[in-house]
Chain A
Amino acid sequence: MEQLLQLFILIPFAGFFITLLLPRKKEKVISFTVFSTISVHLLGLVTFIVCWAINQFPILDVKHLTLFQTDNIEIFIDFYFDKVTVVYSLVGSVIALMVAVFSRSYMHREAGYKRFFSTLLFFFTGYNIVIFSGNFETFFVGWEMVGVTSFLLIAFYRDRYLPVKNALKVISIYRLGDICLILAMWMSHHLWHENITFLKLNDVALVTEHLAEHYWFGVFIAVMIVIGAAAKSAQLPFSSWLPRAMEGPTTSSAIFYGSLSVHLGLFLLLRTYPYWETIVPVQALIIFIGLSTSIISTLISRVQSTVKTQIAYSSAAQIGLMFIEVALGLHTLALIHFAGNAFLRTYQLLVSPSVLSYLVHDMFFNFKPSASVGNSSFKNSIYILSIKEWNLDFLLHQLLWKPFKWFGNRFDFLTSKGSAVLLVVIFVTGLLCYFFQQAIPVAIFEWLPELFAFIAFILILKTFTERGDALRAWFEVVSSQLFMALSIAMLNENFEHNHILMYLSGSVVAAIVGYVCLKKVKAIDGNIQLNQFHGYNYEQPTVGFIFLVACLGLVGLPFTPTFIGIDLLFSHIHRHEVVLIVLTALSFLFIEIAVLRMYARIFLGQHKKQYHPIAFKSS
């Protein structure tokens, strides 16, 4: 029976794959494919659940596929099934089905009809991977897919500025959550000396013993999970991304930010509950986050004068309540609450345009001119704060991103040809150090990994803030990968070269493909400076797509060996190597943001050439 679980991943993936092959203009065929895929999925699911119920609701777990194995490391795909999976998968399939049917007519004749449905199925695959996952690695694959599809659908109207800007904003927050998960995975690797499955987390004795031994490391893991969950579910302090994500077609906003994607953070908490249920500070943290979000988000939602942002904030507030419910162990309530909220918000968003005539009509008959609220300074202050979204967006920018931008800008001097030579020299020296490490005093050699990680980090920040030529930025980001590999390789004399190869194999191909794409685009006008949006997708949509794939490959998204490489790479960083882990984590945070920013600036946004109508920047 466990073996059937993989079907729930394979069906949507097959559907996704088929849509890729369909011609762009065949709307009926495309929507039929999507409709049948999700229907089959739903039918299969219902049948499976019935059988599962007959078998007395067992918890299922299956190690499905081992991706990589050595003596002490095993990376594998694992599936898991319990009542949380049941609720999430049923709600997910039903909503996906309804949204697909809704979109069939709604999206009619939209230029991105196929793009929309393919992305939808890719998202649906990712969503199912997340909820059927049995360990963190599998979970993470789906989690990343959801993130990337979010980016693509927020930037669905890629020829306008605001969708692109907001897509970058959202993916940055998502990425922050991803990094927290990577750190949680890294730490748990070291603590359990294996890839812990969710099933094992249910073993109370095991977890208790483990926590008794490494209490604060356990807290670290749990806190990372909580941050990841909060970011994905738009909880404080990250809430302000949710209203900004409402850029795509109403239907995609409904499925992502009304229902499925935004509740995945909650899912993560439900999934890892056995692990942190006894850690009181973590429980307190979750309750604190949930409570403060529900209060602040409700206040913000009350002052929203636009329909979709109002729904966004009130939904975030409800998820805050769900966080509290999970922390208190009220899981059945949380699941009911999740399902109800998901359906409600999907519905509200889908019919949001009709609110205009409904409320205007209502005003006609029921309007009472309300007196001014009065001059309570306290109320006014709350009002002003809520309009300013309690400065959330501003603070995130000032405290989180701005310092790194500032730091990255310090290295503007690294633009000359000379600095490129310098980098090469440093790298070669590094290599020599690696091969002749016996010749170097241990005291120095010990610090070399940190040094190279730091160089890699600088290069990534440099790309992140790069305003000059995109080819240079590409060079910087690619070389950062080499430095990163070097840094980790130095960590361990027993380091296995195939790990490095695994890590670099994907990157190298991606680097070359990306380079070719950039060359091709640069040949058009000789200008791909990153200080503006170029909108080359208008002229070169295919190149744009290939470059996007290259970008995702370079940063190790779960379709290249680099993904496994990253996992391995982290396993080489020991838990006491604080500087190194911080640098590496930051590098991985910024590298994805940096390459997507690059992709966005070159291919997305308003097309720079005004020989056809283009949108205003503010529209």
Chain B
Amino acid sequence: MTGTETIQMAAKTDVKHNTHTSFDEEHVLHELKHYLPSQTPIKDFIHHNTLHAFQHMKFYDAIFKAGKIFGYQVHLQLTEFRGLYKIGRIKKEVFNRVLRDKKSADAEAWKEKLLTKEYDVINTSRLGLLRAEWKNQYKIDLDNSVHPLFFRILCSYLDQGVALWNFPVKDKSFLAALQELEKNSFVSFFKTKRAKQFLQSGNCGITELLKIVVGKREYYEQYLFDQQFSHQGWSGIAASIEAMPHTLLDRRNVSLHDLIVVELLFEIDALDFQLGEKWEPLANRMKTEPVNLFADVASTEMQEVIKLWQDTFEWSYYDEVLTGISLNKNRTREIPSQKNFQAIFCIDERECSLRRHVESADKNCETFGTPGFFSVEFFFQAENANFYDKLCPAPVTPKYLIKEFGSNHKREHEFLYTKNAQTLLRGFFVSVSMGFAAGGQLFLNLFRPKMSPAISNAFSHMHSHSQLTIENKSLDDKENDLQIGFTIEEMTNRVESLLRSIGLVKNFAPVIYSIAHGSSSANNPHHSAHDCGACSGKPGSVNARVFAFMANHKKVREMLRERGISISDETQFVGSMHDTASDQIGFYDEAALSQKHNVFHTQNKLAFEAALNANAKERTRRFASINTKQSLTGARESILKRSVSMFEPRPELGHGTNTLCIIGSREITKGLFLDRRAFMNSYNYVNDPEGKILIGVMRPIGLVCGGINLEYYFSRVDNYKLGAGTKLPHNVMGLIGVANSADGDLRPGLPVQMIEVHDPVRLLIIVEHLPEIVLNAIQSAPEVYEWYINEWVHLVALNPEDGMYYYFNEGTFKLYEPLHQPLKYVNNFEQFVEQAKEMETNEIVDATQENLPVYLLN
């Protein structure tokens, strides 16, 4: 679901749900689509707020409501909060302060409640009550009889290329395809006549079928919700594909409507088979009124307790960060006289540590952060590819196409992945011959893991020796309505916009790197979730390279000069990409560097290598299988090996632990240890006194960073229902998703291996500017403002004039004074990394002990 769609839908949900006696099919379908998980096929894993359907409400109201309706666990459990308090991760001082601020008079009483009072924490959902009556009244487990075959047919229809034998009718809608298949066949999917007749006659509207199955109109909506949410994964993917058919490479015309019709037909079939054709509709036996699923949820004392706990947990960390920034400001730092290079990274919090190490490897450098698509939005067509990749944030629809050519790269194959092994006779020859090779291959995978065509390699997204059609030849040069390449003016606009947003408008270093990121991993269906979120879950290599090309273009520089940004010929841009899993870096178009710049570049590369070594070492802290005490290069090798190991379900930890988003100059955080927890977007308030640039900067922050943060939050607090559970039993379904077993529901969300180290706290966004300017920026669009006013993220303005913090609450900024607890210093980084302890279990109290507090770096 794109951001704008979310907002439109959110607005519409304000339409009341109390119209239960009438049944408006369109409306209910619309509602279902709104509430179902909106994850698209897993090849493009785009992080989003799992409960986006509730985003028009305040965070706490929303989660409690969603929890009550759908039975989700929407916050940490009470015992977990108490455990965190006990080990000091929720701080006493903050705890007391929050209670004092919120419950001034009754603080003591509430303290009791938070710490010791027993609450009934049982969460029974409103869903499922109606359909449960099949079992209670008719002794029929409808799910058991319908789901397996129904899922299999749906998966076969959607299948992108697992099966050797495709669904026979692919070019029609799901329902029409089934109709045709049934018509031209001697056998049927159905066991009984009636359902088959309904299908073939086409006489099968949802309302008509519901009349047979449920009987009374007032129960229809509840029934459909029960039914579709009994397999929210499959329904969700169908609804998402319906909304965005292009997310399937081999397109299918599936719709939630068809899905419901088919499921109802199978239900009739199952009921006819077990009960004969004469059975009473379900509602006839109902003695209770239909449940209003969306009725308000009464507030309880326990909810209040949870809110307080969540606040104290969040502020235990936030307060430390704010203290750190204050303390850091007062420390003197020498400012480099000349800059060896500048490097623009993605805002991604995984680059937070790398930037720190790059800065420490070469004191005379400067780093910046910006969303990793580098302000250039386009579709990319790899050489010989049949499809385009969208390389920009998900809600944006680019008008441009960039094509790769001239690499003459032949895609390598993994011979053991041949589908021949699955057929009978060829399978025989494969088993008796290549079977032994498979044994050998497995042995090598275990003891000598290395890159292979079977591993998703971030660097293979675009080949470094290929060329790109970046510059537009003529405005008529189009393909599928997309303009091939950018005109000079379009390039200039984008380069200017990026440079201004990060405040890099003068003092250019001789070499400026635009460093994208991607992630290589083996045996990992969720690999796309590790790639760049600002590039729609793809590596950002092309964007970095395109940006560097644009910024190096003579005519672009001329035009930039006219617009007041003067980059001399002494400066060259280099595109590159950092692999966040293997900690490797690759540079593009190095040949285009002048001799002089090549000398600089060679020097700088050493700094990058040193920084990556240190970064790898820092990351080993969280990996139990790697010895943290080894040398820097040893650590780096272990990290590289890990990224290509088939047996390693955690090639990296993705966005786990993300908590902060800092929009301001690097100076405010340089010298702080933020443990890879901060998204960092460079921004210089000095260049933007009226906040015009800030509006553009703030626009994607909620959606991208907030989306990532909340996806991690919800997958962490309820990994069973909102996350994907453990990866280990996952089975790849039709190349569109994963399920736990042959007959299971699709599992959207994040697997436990990605979220176990995550602290489920909301994002704290710190913006360095005057509160009124910040307010203006977030109010620029309702879909932006919603994130803040409804408290799905926290916002603090760091006022550059008085150096004070202003916390955004209920529509205004209020002064916030940190507790100023003393912070510790890190003197020897390597030793500091080596102190890490292995977690005992992946329960929150054990798993997050190594989520370190803020330190000052010496």
The A contact surface, by secondary structure, is: helix
The interface-forming segment of B238-246, B416-424, B771-779 is B416-424
A361-394 vs B, CB cutoff 8 Å, 1 = contact: the mask equals 1111111011011111111110111111000000
Does A615 lie at the interface of the complex (its beta carbon under 8 Å from any beta carbon of B)?
yes
A286-305 vs B, CB cutoff 8 Å, 1 = contact: the mask equals 00000000110010011111
**For residue A378, which residues in chain B have a CB less than 8 angstroms away from its CB?**
186
Cα separation A101 to B648 with both chains bound (whole Å): 11
A280 smallest CB distance to B (angstroms): 25
Given the known inter-chain contacts A249-B728, A306-B734, please indicate yes or no for A244 contacting B43, CB distance below 8 A: no
Cα separation A436 to B645 with both chains bound (whole Å): 73
Cα separation A309 to B442 with both chains bound (whole Å): 21
A480 smallest CB distance to B (angstroms): 25
Across the two chains, which residue of chain B brings its CB closest to A617? B143
A344 & B434 in contact (Cβ 8 Å cutoff): yes
B713-746 vs A, CB cutoff 8 Å, 1 = contact: the mask equals 0000111110001111111111100111111110
**For residue A372, which residues in chain B have a CB less than 8 angstroms away from its CB?**
168-171
A346-365 vs B, CB cutoff 8 Å, 1 = contact: the mask equals 11101111111111111111
Does B597 lie at the interface of the complex (its beta carbon under 8 Å from any beta carbon of A)?
no
B550 smallest CB distance to A (angstroms): 26
Q: Which positions 155-171 of chain B face chain A at CB distance < 8 Å?
A: 155-156, 158-171
Cα separation A493 to B662 with both chains bound (whole Å): 90
Please tell me which one of the listed residues B646, B726, B732, B743 contacts residue A307 in the complex, with CB atoms under 8 A apart.
B732
B691 smallest CB distance to A (angstroms): 42
B735 & A356 in contact (Cβ 8 Å cutoff): yes
Does A192 lie at the interface of the complex (its beta carbon under 8 Å from any beta carbon of B)?
no
Does B790 lie at the interface of the complex (its beta carbon under 8 Å from any beta carbon of A)?
no
B213-225 vs A, CB cutoff 8 Å, 1 = contact: the mask equals 0000000000000
B423 & A387 in contact (Cβ 8 Å cutoff): no
The interface-forming segment of A107-115, A124-132, A207-215 is A107-115
**For residue A340, which residues in chain B have a CB less than 8 angstroms away from its CB?**
431-436
Given the known inter-chain contacts A162-B744, A385-B187, please indicate yes or no for A360 contacting B735, CB distance below 8 A: yes
Given the known inter-chain contacts A302-B423, A343-B439, A344-B421, please indicate yes or no for A354 contacting B646, CB distance below 8 A: yes
Cα separation A379 to B735 with both chains bound (whole Å): 24
Q: Which positions 107-162 of chain A face chain B at CB distance < 8 Å?
A: 107-111, 156-157, 160, 162
Please tell me which one of the listed residues A333, A353, A370, A374 contacts residue B732 in the complex, with CB atoms under 8 A apart.
A353
Please tell me which one of the listed residues A352, A380, A615 contacts residue B725 in the complex, with CB atoms under 8 A apart.
A615
B449-466 vs A, CB cutoff 8 Å, 1 = contact: the mask equals 000011110000000000
Does A619 lie at the interface of the complex (its beta carbon under 8 Å from any beta carbon of B)?
yes
A312 smallest CB distance to B (angstroms): 8
Does B337 lie at the interface of the complex (its beta carbon under 8 Å from any beta carbon of A)?
no
Given the known inter-chain contacts A351-B523, A384-B189, please indicate yes or no for A317 contacting B417, CB distance below 8 A: no
B128-162 vs A, CB cutoff 8 Å, 1 = contact: the mask equals 00000000000000011001010011011011111
Q: How many A-B residue pairs have CB under 8 A?
A: 345
B733 & A305 in contact (Cβ 8 Å cutoff): yes
Cα separation A105 to B185 with both chains bound (whole Å): 49
Please tell me which one of the listed residues B143, B149, B522 contacts residue A354 in the complex, with CB atoms under 8 A apart.
B522
Please tell me which one of the listed residues A355, A380, A612 contacts residue B181 in the complex, with CB atoms under 8 A apart.
A380
B741 & A367 in contact (Cβ 8 Å cutoff): no
B187 & A360 in contact (Cβ 8 Å cutoff): no
The interface-forming segment of B291-299, B378-386, B825-833 is B378-386
The interface-forming segment of B96-104, B119-127, B681-689 is B119-127
**For residue A459, which residues in chain B have a CB less than 8 angstroms away from its CB?**
none
A381 & B123 in contact (Cβ 8 Å cutoff): no
**For residue A60, which residues in chain B have a CB less than 8 angstroms away from its CB?**
none
A108 & B649 in contact (Cβ 8 Å cutoff): yes
A162 & B524 in contact (Cβ 8 Å cutoff): no
A357 & B168 in contact (Cβ 8 Å cutoff): no
Does B77 lie at the interface of the complex (its beta carbon under 8 Å from any beta carbon of A)?
yes
The interface-forming segment of B58-66, B228-236, B471-479 is B228-236
Cα separation A318 to B250 with both chains bound (whole Å): 31
B616-660 vs A, CB cutoff 8 Å, 1 = contact: the mask equals 000000001100000000000000000001111110000000000
Cα separation A492 to B743 with both chains bound (whole Å): 50
Most buried by A among B417, B438, B648: B438
A598-613 vs B, CB cutoff 8 Å, 1 = contact: the mask equals 0000000000011111
Given the known inter-chain contacts A298-B424, A304-B163, A619-B740, please indicate yes or no for A318 contacting B431, CB distance below 8 A: yes
Q: Which positions 103-129 of chain B face chain A at CB distance < 8 Å?
A: 121-124
**For residue A106, which residues in chain B have a CB less than 8 angstroms away from its CB?**
647-649, 728
Does A248 lie at the interface of the complex (its beta carbon under 8 Å from any beta carbon of B)?
yes
Does A94 lie at the interface of the complex (its beta carbon under 8 Å from any beta carbon of B)?
yes
Given the known inter-chain contacts A372-B170, A383-B165, please indicate yes or no for A364 contacting B732, CB distance below 8 A: no
Does B594 lie at the interface of the complex (its beta carbon under 8 Å from any beta carbon of A)?
no
Please tell me which one of the listed residues B189, B416, B430, B729 contacts residue A249 in the complex, with CB atoms under 8 A apart.
B729
A370 & B385 in contact (Cβ 8 Å cutoff): no
Does B747 lie at the interface of the complex (its beta carbon under 8 Å from any beta carbon of A)?
yes
Does B441 lie at the interface of the complex (its beta carbon under 8 Å from any beta carbon of A)?
yes
B742 & A364 in contact (Cβ 8 Å cutoff): no
Across the two chains, which residue of chain B brings its CB closest to A154? B741
B161 & A363 in contact (Cβ 8 Å cutoff): yes
Cα separation A80 to B438 with both chains bound (whole Å): 30
Does B348 lie at the interface of the complex (its beta carbon under 8 Å from any beta carbon of A)?
no
**For residue A308, which residues in chain B have a CB less than 8 angstroms away from its CB?**
731-732, 742
Does A168 lie at the interface of the complex (its beta carbon under 8 Å from any beta carbon of B)?
no
B250 & A363 in contact (Cβ 8 Å cutoff): yes
B438 & A343 in contact (Cβ 8 Å cutoff): yes
Please tell me which one of the listed residues B184, B422, B524, B729 contacts residue A377 in the complex, with CB atoms under 8 A apart.
B184
A387 & B189 in contact (Cβ 8 Å cutoff): yes
A560 smallest CB distance to B (angstroms): 32
Cα separation A381 to B185 with both chains bound (whole Å): 5
B124 & A610 in contact (Cβ 8 Å cutoff): yes
Does A435 lie at the interface of the complex (its beta carbon under 8 Å from any beta carbon of B)?
no
Given the known inter-chain contacts A162-B741, A360-B43, A613-B718, please indicate yes or no for A354 contacting B422, CB distance below 8 A: no
Please tell me which one of the listed residues B121, B384, B411 contacts residue A611 in the complex, with CB atoms under 8 A apart.
B121
Given the known inter-chain contacts A340-B431, A343-B438, please indicate yes or no for A610 contacting B159, CB distance below 8 A: no
A617 & B230 in contact (Cβ 8 Å cutoff): yes
Across the two chains, which residue of chain A brings its CB closest to B162? A305
Across the two chains, which residue of chain A brings its CB closest to B155? A305
A160 & B155 in contact (Cβ 8 Å cutoff): no
Cα separation A227 to B568 with both chains bound (whole Å): 83
Cα separation A348 to B442 with both chains bound (whole Å): 9
Does B595 lie at the interface of the complex (its beta carbon under 8 Å from any beta carbon of A)?
no
Cα separation A310 to B421 with both chains bound (whole Å): 10
A473 smallest CB distance to B (angstroms): 18
Does A311 lie at the interface of the complex (its beta carbon under 8 Å from any beta carbon of B)?
yes
Does B446 lie at the interface of the complex (its beta carbon under 8 Å from any beta carbon of A)?
yes
**For residue A610, which residues in chain B have a CB less than 8 angstroms away from its CB?**
71, 122-124
A318 & B427 in contact (Cβ 8 Å cutoff): yes
A609 & B122 in contact (Cβ 8 Å cutoff): yes
Given the known inter-chain contacts A321-B424, A351-B454, A367-B249, please indicate yes or no for A336 contacting B168, CB distance below 8 A: no
A295 & B424 in contact (Cβ 8 Å cutoff): yes
Cα separation A163 to B527 with both chains bound (whole Å): 26
Cα separation A244 to B148 with both chains bound (whole Å): 11
**For residue B164, which residues in chain A have a CB less than 8 angstroms away from its CB?**
301-303
15 interchain pairs, CB-CB under 8 A: A94-B439, A108-B625, A302-B423, A309-B731, A344-B435, A352-B731, A353-B727, A353-B730, A356-B43, A358-B454, A364-B387, A377-B186, A384-B181, A387-B152, A611-B77
Closest 8 CB pairs of A and B: A340-B435, A343-B439, A347-B438, A305-B159, A249-B728, A344-B435, A357-B456, A380-B185
Q: 16 other contacts beyond A359-B160, A377-B185, A384-B187, with CB at 8 A cut-off?
A: A102-B647, A163-B741, A247-B741, A305-B155, A305-B162, A306-B732, A317-B427, A343-B439, A344-B421, A356-B42, A356-B525, A369-B250, A374-B168, A384-B188, A616-B720, A616-B745
The interface of chain A, by Cβ under 8 A from chain B, is 25, 27, 94-95, 98, 101-111, 156-157, 160, 162-163, 165-166, 243-244, 246-251, 253, 294-295, 298, 301-311, 314, 317-318, 321, 333, 336-337, 339-344, 346-348, 350-367, 369-370, 372-381, 383-388, 609-619
